[in-house]
Structures are given as structure tokens and as C-alpha cells.
């Protein structure tokens, strides 16, 4: 639900400073799409279009760079701008650096407009350090330069740096525009930045930018991320004009913060006022569903609009049925998807895991790999959870160790926690201990608590004591750790040890 305008700002740069971007005959213009349309997937619209668009950018990029390296062609000024946007589209950092090198050779590097595009390219390709270096070299920074760098900081979750730069921009006498406000509002990524967000809201009203629909959407989104539903609703109600993104943002905020029918009421009001829902509207309202009855009514509208074969909407329907207990319905929707990406497979694997069908979850995971879909971190969380609930110990351990070996994924704490819980539930406590002693991951209190609980269930006093000691080293005030250890001692008839644990709790001020 993030209404950032990074690409729209680049479009504005092209028109205002150098004219339309068209470097050579046959070059396709860049399509700037609203990030609101992305939902939980990485692309708006059809995945096939996204793949095709990226393929075109990648192909054009390779051709032009090869010709440039062989000195067969020298792109125009706007040609370089188009190439940089191609790099951003496909996140081609190495190619972006090659273009930067060519710009240095011909003296274009310090041109402000291209420097602004370089900042955006480096940010999109994941190199904030390079983006910052380019920004520092711009001699006369304008609002576009500052906005590009503020947006880069926001995209990389460096909120403090974004606000510091915004203040420096104003101190330098550069007046923010509506796109700058959208960029800085996107840096308000939680309740801790609410005060900063409110300050920006006041500046926006003073500047008159609050009448801009995109700025209004950004304000709503900011308040939603900060957990302030009433403020988001006030902005929504006061907007002189609303677009589909406005409605989507408000529906998403309702779905996330107010369980109940408000999101549905807003969805119906939207249509009554003549605004047609799009894919992301359906994704957001499906998230608000708490029963199959509600979900099926939305699903019916999706089918009527012929959106049920779309990967983004279809995956949201799968997740809705999973959440509402409809495993068979989820499977039927999944099987009808024309295209399935990793998010779709993850949703169905998670549905099997949630409903105790561990064998089917593992089977679907294997089928996913056979079809050439690369699993991600969430895939393995779902598969490991499925193995855990179904008692598939060996399958779960094989899955865990295949993450690095076969798929190049470094296990996170959540994956390791699943393995400890899996081994502990099965009573294989020696293996759980060996796993925690020999692997290089960072342990957390939940992991030690899981092992401690398994020691209580299986009556392993010595390992229970070891697990409790490690738990309390991380969190000395963890009352649950003391209680479980005391229960382990009591069950084993070691009353003196149980009493000592209780005395330690008193000394810690826990009881």
C-alpha cells in the first residue's frame, strides 16, 4: 500500500529537463506504474507483461552496452537516460556501473539530470553507497536531486538519514514539491516516526500540496503504517478528489487495523460512488475476510470480472480460503491459476501446513521445484512448519539442510527454530542439542524456550537445566523459563532444586 512516486518523478524529470525519453528508433518508452498495484507480489498487472517488459529492457541494455564498448554507437543524452532506466527496471547494477563509466569518459557524469537518474538507478539496484556518492558530487543540487536521494534513503529504510537530508534541503533554501513530500512520507515506516509524519503533514498543508491526490494517498499510507486509523480516515474524508489508490489505501488500512465489516462497507461505498475496484482492491478486501461466507461473496465478484485466473488475485483468494478453513476451495483456486509464481506456491504449501497435511505440503514443494520455480525463505518456513505439525522429522531435516546446499538460501532464526521444535517434539533431544551447539546461526529466546518445553515433556532434566541456563543468559527476567525448569525438577522429584529455582525467581523480583 505504499504510494511512492519514484518512477513518476523520473518521468517528470525527463519531460521537464530534457524532453521525452526516446534515444533511438524502436525504443519502447518506459511505463511508469503505480506501486499501489503491487500488493504482496513484486509486480502490478500481469506477471507475463512484467516479465516481457523486463526482458525487453535487459535485451536492449545488452545490445547497447556491447555497441558502446566496441565504440560502434554513442548514445544521445536522452539515450543515456533511457539506459539508466532500463538498469533500474531489471536491477542491473553491473550494467549501471558500466554506463556510469561511459558517462565519466564523455563528461556527462556531473550533469544534474543524469546524476539524479544515477541516484535512482543505484538505489533501485541496491547500492545506497553509490547513490550517496553521486549525490555528493552534484555541485548545484535542485529539488529533483534532493528528492531522488531522500527517496533512496526511504527505499533502504534509512529513515533518519532521509529526515536529516530533508532538513538540510530546506536549510539550503530548496523548496520541496509534492513528489518530495511523497518521498519523505514513505520514510515514516512505523509509530516511532509519527511525530515526524505529523510535522510533514503540517508542512504539506502550509504549502497547499494537500489537495494533490497522490500526496493525500501518501499521507493516508503514512498514518496507516503508524497505526493511526482515525488520522488516515480524516485525510481520506477531506480529500477533494479520490482515485482507486485512495480507496485501496483506506480499505487496506481498515483490513489491517479494524477487524470487522468496515473494510467491506468501504468496498461497497466505493462502488456506489462510481469507482471501479481493481485487482489490488480485491486483494485488500480479501485480507479483511474472517469467514468463508464473506470471502465467497468477494470471490464471486472476482469470477464475474474474470480476474480469477490472475496470479495476484488468485493467490489472495487462496490465502483467504486458507485463513478461513477452506483447504479444498484453496486447492481448487490454486489449480485453476494460469500462472503460478513463488508467492502462489507458498500460499498453497502454507494452506496444507496449516491444515495438518504435512505430506501433501512436502509433495507440493517437490512439485514446485520440479517445475523450475525457485523457492524462497518463506517457502522453507511453510514446509518446515508442515513437517513439524505432521511429525515428519527426517523430511524436515532434509529440507533444512537443502536450503544452503541446493538452493543457496542462508537459514534464518525462524528456520532454525522450526528444526529445534521438530526434533524436540519427536523426543530427539540429543540431536536438538547437537544442532544448537554446532550450527552457526544466532539463537533466540523462543528457540531455547522450545527446547526447554520439549525437555519438560520428555523428562530430560540435564538438558532442561542447560537450556534454561542459556535462556536466562539471554533474558534473565524470563519468568516462563524459571517456571518450566521448576516443573522439570518437581516432576523428577528433585524438590530441593525446584525450591532453589523459586528462590532465584524471588531474588530476581519475578514473584
Q: 65-95 pLDDT, tens per residue?
A: 666 666 666 777 777 788 888 787 778 788 8
Residue range 485-502: mean pLDDT, rounded: 93
For the chain, how many helices (H) and strands (E)? 28, 0
DSSP string, 257-325: H--SSHHHHHHHHHHHTTPPP-HHHHHHHHHT--SHHHHHHHHHHHHHTT-TT-HHHHHHHHHHHHHTT
Residues in Cβ contact with 71 at an 8 Å cutoff, skipping those fewer than 6 apart? none
CB hemisphere CA count around 425 (13 angstroms): 17
Specify the pLDDT at position 109: 61
Domain contains 100: yes
Q: Is 52 exposed, middle or buried (0-12, 13-18, 19+ CB in 10 A)?
A: exposed
Domain contains 334: no
Domain contains 27: yes
Domain contains 90: yes
Measured CA to CA, the distance from residue 97 to residue 91 in angstroms comes to 11
* Host domain of residue 84: 1-169
Q: Are 350 and 322 in contact (CB under 8 A)?
A: yes
Share of the chain above pLDDT 90, in %: 67
Specify the pLDDT at position 435: 92
Domain CATH code at residue 46: 1.25.40
Domain contains 413: no
Domain contains 98: yes
Mean pLDDT of the chain: 85
Band (pLDDT 50/70/90 cuts) for residue 61 is low
Comparison of pLDDT for 44 and 40, the residue scoring more: 40
Question: Among 185, 175, 191, 249, which residue's Cα sits nearest to residue 217?
Answer: 249
pLDDT in tens, 337-395: 989 999 999 999 999 999 999 999 999 999 999 999 999 999 999 999 999 989 999 99
Measured CA to CA, the distance from residue 151 to residue 137 in angstroms comes to 18
Specify the pLDDT at position 99: 83
Band (pLDDT 50/70/90 cuts) for residue 287 is very high
Domain contains 474: no
Measured CA to CA, the distance from residue 435 to residue 420 in angstroms comes to 8
Q: Are 79 and 24 in contact (CB under 8 A)?
A: yes
Comparison of pLDDT for 331 and 437, the residue scoring more: 331
pTM value is: 0.76
Specify the pLDDT at position 200: 97
Q: Are 141 and 171 in contact (CB under 8 A)?
A: no
pLDDT in tens, 185-215: 999 988 999 999 999 999 999 999 999 999 9
Domain contains 416: no
**Which of these ranges, 251-260, 299-308, 469-478, 485-494, has the smallest mean pLDDT?**
251-260
CA distances for 234 relative to 230, 231, 267, angstroms = 6, 5, 17
Comparison of pLDDT for 99 and 280, the residue scoring more: 280
Where b means 16+ CB within 10 Å and e means fewer, 440-479 reads ebebbbebbbbbbbbbbeeebbebbbbbbebbbeeeeebe
Band (pLDDT 50/70/90 cuts) for residue 460 is very high
* C-alpha cell at position 87: 538498469
**Domain tally, the chain:** 1
Amino acid at each position: 500500500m505504499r504510494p511512492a512516486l519514484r518512477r513518476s518523478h523520473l518521468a517528470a524529470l525527463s519531460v521537464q529537463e530534457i524532453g521525452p525519453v526516446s534515444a533511438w528508433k524502436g525504443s519502447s518508452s518506459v511505463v511508469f506504474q503505480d506501486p499501489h498495484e503491487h500488493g504482496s507480489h513484486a509486480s502490478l498487472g500481469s506477471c507475463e507483461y512484467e516479465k516481457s517488459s523486463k526482458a525487453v529492457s535487459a535485451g536492449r541494455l545488452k545490445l547497447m552496452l556491447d555497441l558502446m564498448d566496441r565504440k560502434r554507437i554513442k548514445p544521445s543524452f536522452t539515450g543515456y537516460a533511457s539506459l539508466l532506466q532500463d538498469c533500474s527496471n531489471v536491477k542491473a547494477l553491473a550494467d549501471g556501473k558500466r554506463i556510469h563509466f561511459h558517462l565519466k569518459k564523455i563528461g556527462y557524469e556531473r550533469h544534474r539530470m543524469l546524476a539524479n537518474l544515477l541516484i535512482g538507478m543505484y538505489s533501485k539496484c541496491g547500492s545506497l553507497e553509490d547513490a550517496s556518492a553521486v549525490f555528493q558530487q552534484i555541485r548545484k543540487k535542485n529539488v529533483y536531486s534532493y528528492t531522488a536521494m531522500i527517496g533512496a534513503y526511504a527505499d533502504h529504510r534509512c529513515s533518519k538519514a532521509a529526515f536529516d537530508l530533508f532538513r538540510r534541503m530546506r536549510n539550503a533554501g530548496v523548496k520541496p514539491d509534492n513528489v518530495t513530500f511523497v518521498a519523505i512520507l514513505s520514510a515514516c515506516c512505523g509509530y516511532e516516526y509519527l511525530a515526524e509524519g505529523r510535522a510533514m503533514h503540517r508542512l504539506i498543508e502550509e504549502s497547499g500540496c494537500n489537495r494533490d491526490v497522490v500526496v493525500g494517498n501518501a499521507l493516508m499510507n503514512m498514518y496507516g503504517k503508524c497505526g493511526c486509523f482515525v488520522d488516515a480516515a480524516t485525510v481520506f474524508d477531506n480529500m477533494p478528489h479520490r482515485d482507486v489508490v485512495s480507496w485501496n489505501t483506506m480499505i487496506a488500512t481498515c483490513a489491517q487495523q479494524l477487524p470487522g465489516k468496515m473494510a467491506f462497507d468501504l468496498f461497497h461505498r466505493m462502488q456506489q460512488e462510481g469507482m471501479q475496484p481493481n485487482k489490488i482492491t480485491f486483494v485488500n478486501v480479501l485480507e479483511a475476510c474472517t469467514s468463508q461466507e464473506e470471502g465467497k461473496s468477494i470471490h464471486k465478484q472476482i469470477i464475474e470480472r474474470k480476474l480469477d485466473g490472475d496470479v495476484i488475485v488468485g493467490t489472495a483468494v487462496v490465502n483467504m480460503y486458507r485463513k478461513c478453513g477452506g483447504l479444498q476451495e484453496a486447492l481448487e483456486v490454486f489449480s485453476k491459476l494460469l500462472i503460478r509464481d513463488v508467492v502462489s506456491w507458498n500460499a498453497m504449501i502454507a494452506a496444507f501446513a496449516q491444515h495438518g497435511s504435512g505430506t501433501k505440503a512436502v509433495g507440493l514443494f517437490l512439485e514446485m521445484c520440479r517445475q523450475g520455480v525457485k523457492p524462497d525463505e518463506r517457502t522453507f518456513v511453510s514446509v518446515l512448519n508442515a513437517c513439524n505439525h505432521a511429525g515428519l522429522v527426517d523430511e524436515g531435516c532434509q529440507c533444512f539442510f537443502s536450503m544452503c546446499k541446493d538452493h543457496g538460501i542462508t537459514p534464518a532464526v525462524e528456520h532454525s527454530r522450526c528444526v529445534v521444535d521438530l526434533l524436540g517434539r519427536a523426543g530427539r533431544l540429543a540431536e536438538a542439542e547437537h544442532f544448537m551447539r554446532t550450527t552457526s546461526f544466532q539463537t533466540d529466546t523462543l528457540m531455547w524456550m522450545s527446547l526447554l518445553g520439549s525437555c519438560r515433556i520428555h523428562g530430560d532434566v540435564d538438558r532442561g537445566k542447560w537450556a534454561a541456563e542459556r535462556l536466562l543468559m539471554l533474558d534473565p527476567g524470563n519468568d516462563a523459563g524459571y517456571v518450566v525448569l521448576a516443573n522439570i525438577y518437581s516432576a523428577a522429584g528433585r524438590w530441593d532444586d525446584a525450591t532453589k529455582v523459586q528462590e532465584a525467581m524471588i531474588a530476581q523480583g519475578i514473584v
